[in-house]
Amino acid sequence: MRINTKTGILLLTLAIPVFIWLFLKLFGQNSFDLPVYYSEGVNTEACDATNQAHTVPKFSLQISDSNTISSEFLSEQIVISHFLPDECLESCTQVLENIANLQSVFSKEYALKILTIAPEHYSFEELAHLSKQFNIDPELWVVAKAKQQKVNELQQCGFVLSDYSQNTFVLTDPERQIRGYYNALDSDEVDRMKGEIKILEYLLENFRND
């Protein structure tokens, strides 16, 4: 009798993930969704008001003396973006450590990239040092810089951050639409972002298959 009970518990334990997978497969389209931020436009003091659906505008950032990266980078995959402060101190280091952990979780099998945007006064040598310090994989994580005015415009009117918040992750989809904001120093928020990235991947995959 004990053997049958143990067997039943084992079978139930194995069956639960299968039921969850089937439920998501059959009903997931109606069960999960992520908001599209500013679908009716952006209206802030720093930006020109618009009633059109907002997407991150076109931009060009430097990744070396001779190479740039454009906004097309955001159009090809899901991207986590954030901004470096004027000086990378303790909180900045923690944010970069959290990104390094994300890099190991979301390996190359995911259509996910990470974009770090720095002010112009960071030298490429400093950015290279950060890349080495946090073991940045250039195929997954791009570190770029721009003039301060362009950084401010991107921060305030592109990614719509109310202040120069280097402690915020911004999640965008392949349409350059903003899908989430997360406190980069809060482990619960980072975990929420991980879950919502997977939800977004699921939604995009089902959209492609429809």
The count of domains in the chain is: 2
Are 7 and 92 in a shared domain?
Answer: no
pLDDT value of residue 180 = 96
Q: What is the mean pLDDT of residues 154-161?
A: 92
Residue at 48 is within a domain: no
Are 164 and 81 in a shared domain?
Answer: yes
Q: What is the mean pLDDT of residues 67-88?
A: 90
The end-to-end CA distance of the chain, in Å, is 49
Are 72 and 169 in a shared domain?
Answer: yes
Q: Taking 50 as the threshold, does the pLDDT of residue 209 lie above it?
A: yes
How would DSSP label each residue in 161-180?
Answer: -SS--TTEEEEE-TT--EEE
116 against 30, higher pLDDT:
116
Q: Which domain holds residue 195?
A: 60-209
Q: Which residues pair with 80 in a beta bridge?
A: 114, 171
Residue at 125 is within a domain: yes
Tokens encoding 81: 């973006």
Report whether 92 contacts 84 (CB < 8 A): yes
Q: What is the dihedral of CA 40, 171, 146, 74, to 10 degrees?
A: -80
Are 111 and 24 in a shared domain?
Answer: no
Range 171-194 burial, b when 16+ CB lie within 10 A, else e? bbbeebbbbbbbbbeeeebbeebe
Are 196 and 112 in a shared domain?
Answer: yes
pLDDT tens-place string over residues 132-144: 999 988 888 999 9
Are 97 and 197 in a shared domain?
Answer: yes
Residue at 51 is within a domain: no
pLDDT value of residue 106 = 75
Are 68 and 18 in a shared domain?
Answer: no
Residue at 2 is within a domain: yes
CA distance 17 to 20: 5
pLDDT band at 14 (very low <50, low <70, confident <90, very high): very low
- Angle between helix 187-209 and helix 2-31 axes, rounded to 10 deg: 70
Are 2 and 89 in a shared domain?
Answer: no
Are 12 and 92 in a shared domain?
Answer: no
| Nearest CA among 176, 169, 161, 171 for reference residue 59 | 176
Residue at 103 is within a domain: yes
Are 175 and 137 in a shared domain?
Answer: yes
Residue at 96 is within a domain: yes
pLDDT value of residue 63 = 93
Are 112 and 194 in a shared domain?
Answer: yes
171 against 71, higher pLDDT:
171
pLDDT tens-place string over residues 92-112: 999 999 999 888 877 655 678
pLDDT band at 5 (very low <50, low <70, confident <90, very high): low
pLDDT tens-place string over residues 16-54: 544 554 555 555 444 567 899 999 888 877 787 778 899
